[in-house]
Amino acid sequence: MRNEMKALVKARPEPGLWMETRPVPEIGPDDVLIRVKKTGICGTDIHIWNWDDWARRTVPVGLITGHEFAGEIVEIGRNVEGLSIGQRCSGEGHLIGRQSRQARAGKFHLDPATRGIGVNENGAFAEYLRLPAFNVVPLPDEIDDEIGAILDPLGNAVHTALSFDLVGEDVLITGAGPIGIMAAAVARHVGARHVVITDVNQDRLDLAARVADVEPVNVARQDLREVEHMLKMKEGFDVGLEMSGSQAAFDQMVENMVMGGRIAMLGIPPGKSPVDWSRIVFKALTIKGVYGREIFETWYKMIAMLENGLDVRGVITHRFAADDYREAFEIMRTGKSGKVVLDWT
């Protein structure tokens, strides 16, 4: 095997990423080495490209970026059991500690010592990735590398959507980005009655309508109350999935929830946002913050749903060779795409 590889690196403290030659990672006794085949570009990667305040505080210069991937195991550490060379896989990009109360209780997704590949540690935008064997998620034959490369964001959508019982419920999703669109598809797959997704980006709403059986609403042009009336809803939405990070969208969601409604929040508002807590209290709303995926319950559920007919391939709108990453990132940054996948083969 070669001892050098191509890797997409945050080489300088300024906007952009750069393709460099790096050594192939050496693995430890509890690690595997994965030959990366496909990767997805995430909103987090756009923050790193743009070198915004969050990225400057968080990401070390010189880091190999990227955390959405699928590939093949090519080397196994001496302590690793249950995995084999040649096995296709994706993987959980959150590297957990083992000492916290949450980790020791098996609530790995809540471990405060978590570090992320492609954010804190070298990531998957490369020909090879070192990953703890614990984090590896084998892929069944029914899930190809392209879908395997977007399981990380699909996991965010599944974790958020399954935060509350959706069977027979009316669901409002604010934010028609790729994760919001996939959450809409999940909600319909598990039995929600009406699923409404809102945004002000018409391209994203049109994509949502193609991918999932949902009612897309451009709130800059259409009144949400009129949509509820059209759907013969009488009291508001039972469940809200906030995916936008927009204060206005969250306020609109609160206003349109049923008494005792439940909201799962994945979107992150910038900075501190004013909230009318009286509306939340007087409506007796439950709000749950969602971070990443439940390790590994979410992975089991989403793989089972994909094997049972959940179809999210339409959310992938663009595919590029890894060498064409600049064009791929530019399309992502326009907001006129769904998921963008890079091919490292």
Indicate which residue of 21, 39, 47, 58 is catalytic. 47
pLDDT, tens digit, for every residue of 138-194? 999 999 999 999 999 999 999 999 999 999 999 999 999 999 999 999 999 999 999
Same fold, 4-150+312-343 and 156-289: no
Domain 156-289 sits in CATH 3.40.920.10:
no
Mean pLDDT of 80-87: 98
**pLDDT at residue 2 is higher than 90:** no
Instruction: Determine the average pLDDT of the residues in 296-304.
Output: 97
Q: Is 94 a catalytic residue?
A: no
Question: Peptide bond preceding 282: is omega within 30 degrees of 0, i.e. cis?
Answer: no
**Max Cα separation, the chain?**
64
Please provide residue 280's backbone torsions phi and psi, each rounded to the nearest 5 degrees.
-70, -45
Mean pLDDT, the chain, integer: 96
For 97-131, the pLDDT digits (tens) are 999 999 999 999 999 999 999 999 999 999 999 99
Phi and psi dihedrals of 272, rounded to 5? Answer: -90, 135
Helices 202-211 and 178-189: crossing angle in degrees, nearest 10, is 30
Sign of the Cα torsion 162, 144, 327, 131 reads positive
Sorted by sequence, the CB contacts under 8 Å of residue 327 that are 6+ apart come out as: 320
Given a cut of 80, is residue 213 above it in pLDDT? yes
63 pLDDT higher than 80: yes
d(CA 178, CA 154): 9
Active site residue 345: no
Does residue 158 contact residue 305 with C-beta atoms inside 8 Å? yes
The pLDDT tens digits of the residues spanning 256-294 come to: 999 999 999 999 887 888 889 999 999 999 999 999 999
Structure tokens at 77: 């550490």
Question: What pLDDT score does 256 carry?
Answer: 97
Which residue out of 39, 44, 65, 114 is catalytically annotated? 44
Radius of gyration for the chain, computed over Cα atoms and rounded to the nearest angstrom: 20
Per-residue model confidence (pLDDT) at position 1: 67
Facing residues of 171 across strands? 195, 239
Neighbouring C-beta atoms of residue 202, cutoff 10 Å: 14
Q: Return the domain boundaries, the chain.
A: 4-150+312-343, 156-289
What DSSP line would sit under 277-304, residue for residue? HHHHHHTT-EEEE--S--TTHHHHHHHH
> What pLDDT does 269 receive?
84
Alpha helices in 113-177 (DSSP H): 145-148, 151-161
CA distances from 190 to 198, 215, 302 (A): 20, 17, 11
Q: Considering the entire predicted model, what is its pTM? A: 0.95
Q: Which CATH class is domain 4-150+312-343?
A: alpha beta
